[in-house]
Amino acid sequence: MNSSVVRSLTCPGPMFCAFKGQTLRIECKLVEDNRPEVGKALVDKMPVLKPALGECGENGVMYYLKDAKADFFKMMELVETITF
C-alpha cells in the first residue's frame, strides 16, 4: 500500500463528534486519571454505574482531555473553535 494512503488512514488521536443543531467535533489526547477521588465522584454522580464500576469506581478507567480543540459547525461552515 502506498505510504501516503497509510498515513491518511492513521488517526493521530481520539476524535468525538456530536450533533444538536450544530455539529461539534473534539480532537484531543486522552490521559488516564487513576486518582481514586475521580472514580468515586463519577459513581456518586451516576449511581447506576456502581454495579459495573464498583463502589469507588475501581473497576473502570477514567480519562481527561488534554490539548483539546473543539470545532463548532453549522451546515458545514466553521462557526467557532475553542482550545482547552
Q: What is the pLDDT of residues 45-83, one digit of tens each?
A: 999 999 999 998 899 999 999 999 999 998 888 999 999
Could you tell me the three cell numbers for 60?
Answer: 473502570
Assess whether pLDDT exceeds 70 at residue 29. yes
Cα–Cα dist 30/68, whole Å: 9
Tell me the average pLDDT of the chain: 84
Backbone angles phi, psi at 21, to 5 degrees: 80, -40
Q: What average pLDDT does range 29-41 have in this prediction?
A: 92
Beta-strand ranges (E) seen in 9-62 are: 15-19, 23-32
Where along the chain do its domains lie?
Answer: 12-67+75-83
- pLDDT surpasses 60 at 3: no
Phi–psi pair at 14, nearest 5 degrees: -65, 150
Distance CA(63)–CA(6), nearest Å, equals 28
- For the cut 60, the answer to whether the pLDDT of residue 1 exceeds it is no
